[in-house]
Chain A
Amino acid sequence: MEFIQEQFLFYLSLIVVMFVPGFFLLTTIFQKKRFSQIEALVFSITLSIISVDFLMIVMGKMGIPLNFWSVLSGIALFSAGCFFIQKNVQKKNFSFEFKKTDNFSKNQTILIVLILFLAIFVRTAHLKNAIFPTATDLGHHMYWSKLITETGELPVYEKQEIEKVGESYQVSEPSPIADFIIGEHLIFAAISLLSGVGFVTYFPTIILFLVNIAGILTVFVFTLRLFENDSEKPTSFSKNVAIATLLFLGPLYAISSPQSTFVSGGVVGNMIGNLLIPSALYFYFKALKENDSWSLFTGIFLTAGMIYTHHLSSFIFIYIFAFIFITFNILFIFNSVWFSKKKRDAKKLFKDYSPVVTAWVKMIFSKNVFPLIIAFLLFFFFVFTPAYIETSAVDTAIGAPSKSTRAGLSLTEIKFNIGESRMLLATLGVLIILLSHAKKKDDTNTIYSSAFALGWFVAIFSMITIPETLHLNLPSGRIASYFVFPASVLAGFSLTWIFWFIKITKRKLMLPASIISAFFFALFVFVLVNGMFDNSESFENKKNYQEANRVYHASKYLAGNPNLSESDIVLKDHNYLKADTWMKIFFMRDYNFPFSRSYFKRYEDPTKPREMCTLWMISNPTTTQGEQCFEETGVNFLVVNPKNDTVQFKNANQFNKIYSGNEIVIYYRKN
């Protein structure tokens, strides 16, 4: 009964935090009939995430304690404020009417519902064995979210470390961490504050699952807009492209990164980034296509949110933006010059280009957008600067690749990352779009469409293949996880285009119907088999929750023991204990507490020398070095797996074995 009540409160909080503020903001920014229902749903989620982030940052900075009442009141006031503006300033009747032109045919609707069912079903099947909170990254993130709920303040991203000073070792003073950004943690804190659900539960993964589904749907609606300009093709073409894209992102390749694996792995920043990037692109595209400053306003608002959520996503977005700009200019110049009678007519080019630039400038300096840009810059520099700017993390991301994992991926590795059929079709999509521009003179909106589709794809492709040329020093594999979305859009486009092309040219081709059917069948089977094979490869059947339960039990024993005090220091092993990063959530003393014996290879990395105490205190506790470490750091409790670490403690008189379970023991050392 208690669990059912908890569930009820959780879903209620989910609606309050992740739907209500965004919905009110969306309906205030835009007039009626501007969005379809799916768009309203996904953008309400996206805008809610960013609105709640900014709301909590402002409240935290104003010294308002972040608790149940303040967060609930903040969201209620924000939503009521939006409602008030609609009623009294915009004089709108509050009846949000949806755009009706986006309706799908009956068959298309059935297909979309089926794809969505399969998309959620495959993910659910995967998450069934991965929903239990064990993932390292998620454990790290949830520490900060829990800290917000416990202190009622915005977290200071700092940690203590064991450090070597001269010949001795000590626990350092807290020093800043660049890896975490506030926007990754506020949304989880808000939901926990409102629902009361604990952090070592299903809830963080469910939130990421929702973010993943919203991300897929955002790409779906973006694709729908992206290809709806083409006058050559039937109106159903863009809808079919969107459905094909949904197929590539939904049930196919559903588990490998950045999809369900990232959900269970708690790759929070990447997940939210993969929702915000297509959302921001959607609004920038809409702004340019419809010459709409409110869309630009929303795009900038989402980009600002991205900056406060994930540095890698923001960094990648800058490149995407730059490549879209370059692609647009190349296509525009080509379009203007190629179809001009005088091939080198600069005046003609200027004449074509000037209204486009004028429209951009007008939008940027409009009364909606310009104040937002100024407000954001003031907020960024004077109210809350993200930790990664203050800790110079940006400097380390720019420059020559410092490791082999940052030197780029080969085509085979890329193919492995995003799937053979998707890669093949996406490449074909690039060629089709490029060739289509050589055929006829296009209007600016068609060029925008191509620039967004190609620029998004080429930007990430370049970042993972030629990082050195782009002065990038970031893990190439990690960037590749952003490649999946644009590749799916282009794969969806080319798959639909092939079907459309054969349909309109089958008479000219004079091929028997049976051969055409066989070709379609083979293509479809290739796509499905490749995508489902990828799912089966990524599927994890291993149930490891009992191992994690043991670690949580040991953590509770230590953290809740009245005989332990602040002076007691715990060291645990990261090599042989499952879910050990979650131990810090039971103690809540420091991000690095308990200290950790890291992966053995890290102690041998010549490029990154590190302290050895955490290794010696578990691996060689009775040696002179080990003894010195215990004396100087004050570590007196060790949590290890007895299968791997027993012998070194067994005959050492200074260690007491105080806790014992299957595959987990705790030793106490009297200092």
Chain B
Amino acid sequence: MSQKTITISIIIFFFASAVFLSFTENSQHKLDDQWFLYFQNPKDNSLNFTIENHSQKNDFSWQRICQDKIIQEGVARVKKNESKTITVSSECTEKNMVKVSNGEEVLELYKNIDLR
């Protein structure tokens, strides 16, 4: 009887712990309080970029900068856990920079076009 009690206890304790840890780990996979900025195509000259939002802030402002001059700007509303691709022109043949801000944090991307 005691062996049975111990064996069943081991199985129950382990199972309970494994389920708890699995659910904990699964919840940890959610990106939290951060956002990402990236070019759709990293290799060509296109400057279309994506804002992927996993933060509480939904309003983003963006600027396209060529030779330190803002040549295009706009705002984008991206809900939490969603992403939005912004299509921009790429006529500037210099260092093309994209700066995006959520009001607190600024992220930037750039491509050096036709310089090499």
Do the beta carbons of A654 and B116 come within 8 Å of each other?
A: yes
Q: Is A510 an interface residue (CB 8 A)?
A: no
Do the beta carbons of B34 and A131 come within 8 Å of each other?
A: no
Q: Is B22 an interface residue (CB 8 A)?
A: yes
Q: Is A498 an interface residue (CB 8 A)?
A: no
CB interface residues, B 1-32, toward A, < 8 Å: 1-7, 9-11, 13-15, 17-26, 28-32
Chain A residues, Cβ within 8 Å of B82: none
Partner of A37, one of B7, B21, B30, B44: B7
Chain A residues, Cβ within 8 Å of B22: 7, 10, 131, 202-203, 206
State A50–B61 Cα separation when bound (angstroms): 58
State A653–B111 Cα separation when bound (angstroms): 9
Chain A residues, Cβ within 8 Å of B105: 662
Asked whether A660 and B109 contact (CB < 8 A) given A123-B17, A653-B116, the answer is yes
A567 to chain B, nearest CB (A): 11
State A131–B18 Cα separation when bound (angstroms): 10
Q: How many A-B residue pairs have CB under 8 A?
A: 156
Do the beta carbons of A37 and B38 come within 8 Å of each other?
A: no
Complex interface: stretch among A103-111, A145-153, A344-352:
A103-111
Chain A residues, Cβ within 8 Å of B9: 113, 116-117
Do the beta carbons of B43 and A546 come within 8 Å of each other?
A: no
State A210–B18 Cα separation when bound (angstroms): 9
Q: Is B39 an interface residue (CB 8 A)?
A: yes
Q: Is A564 an interface residue (CB 8 A)?
A: yes
Q: Is B89 an interface residue (CB 8 A)?
A: no
Do the beta carbons of A668 and B14 come within 8 Å of each other?
A: no
State A38–B110 Cα separation when bound (angstroms): 63
Chain B residues, Cβ within 8 Å of A98: 3
Partner of B28, one of A132, A658, A668: A132
Q: Is B67 an interface residue (CB 8 A)?
A: no
State A127–B24 Cα separation when bound (angstroms): 10
Asked whether A131 and B24 contact (CB < 8 A) given A120-B17, A213-B14, the answer is yes
Q: Is A112 an interface residue (CB 8 A)?
A: yes
Do the beta carbons of A112 and B110 come within 8 Å of each other?
A: no
Chain A residues, Cβ within 8 Å of B2: 103-106, 108-109
Asked whether A131 and B25 contact (CB < 8 A) given A11-B15, A124-B17, A659-B42, the answer is yes
Partner of A128, one of B5, B24, B41: B24
Do the beta carbons of A132 and B112 come within 8 Å of each other?
A: no
Do the beta carbons of A659 and B116 come within 8 Å of each other?
A: no
Chain A residue with Cβ nearest B97 = A657
State A208–B113 Cα separation when bound (angstroms): 50
Chain A residues, Cβ within 8 Å of B1: 103
Chain B residues, Cβ within 8 Å of A549: 28-31
Do the beta carbons of A109 and B25 come within 8 Å of each other?
A: no
Q: Is B108 an interface residue (CB 8 A)?
A: yes
Q: Is A161 an interface residue (CB 8 A)?
A: no
Do the beta carbons of A546 and B34 come within 8 Å of each other?
A: yes
Do the beta carbons of B115 and A653 come within 8 Å of each other?
A: yes
Q: Is B35 an interface residue (CB 8 A)?
A: yes
CB-defined interface of A112-150 with B at 8 Å, one 1/0 digit per residue? 110011001101100110011100000000000000000
Do the beta carbons of A561 and B14 come within 8 Å of each other?
A: no
Q: Is A666 an interface residue (CB 8 A)?
A: yes
Chain B residue with Cβ nearest A104 = B2
Chain B residue with Cβ nearest A105 = B2
Do the beta carbons of B37 and A659 come within 8 Å of each other?
A: yes
Chain B residues, Cβ within 8 Å of A106: 2
Q: Is B95 an interface residue (CB 8 A)?
A: yes
Chain B residues, Cβ within 8 Å of A659: 36-39, 42, 109
Q: Is A16 an interface residue (CB 8 A)?
A: no
Do the beta carbons of A661 and B14 come within 8 Å of each other?
A: no
Q: Is A468 an interface residue (CB 8 A)?
A: no
Q: Is B107 an interface residue (CB 8 A)?
A: yes
Chain A residues, Cβ within 8 Å of B111: 656, 658
A322 to chain B, nearest CB (A): 34
Residue among A37, A98, A105, A217 with most chain B CB within 10 A: A37
Chain B residues, Cβ within 8 Å of A658: 38-39, 42, 109, 111
Do the beta carbons of B31 and A656 come within 8 Å of each other?
A: no
Partner of B14, one of A7, A109, A120, A202: A120
Further contacts, 4 of them, CB under 8 A, given A37-B3, A202-B25, A661-B36: A116-B13, A124-B17, A563-B43, A662-B34
Q: Interface on A for B, CB 8 Å cutoff?
A: 3, 7, 10-11, 36-38, 41, 98, 102-106, 108-109, 112-113, 116-117, 120-121, 123-124, 127-128, 131-133, 201-203, 205-206, 209-210, 213, 217, 545-546, 549-550, 553, 557, 561, 563-564, 637, 653-662, 666, 668, 670
Sample 26 A-B pairs with CB under 8 A, ordered by A number. Answer: A7-B22, A11-B18, A38-B6, A103-B3, A105-B2, A109-B2, A113-B9, A117-B9, A117-B13, A120-B13, A121-B17, A131-B22, A202-B24, A205-B21, A209-B17, A210-B14, A546-B32, A549-B28, A654-B112, A655-B112, A656-B42, A656-B111, A658-B39, A658-B109, A659-B39, A668-B43
Enumerate the 7 nearest inter-chain pairs by beta-carbon distance, A residue then B residue, closest first.
A202-B25, A658-B42, A109-B2, A659-B38, A104-B2, A37-B3, A661-B36
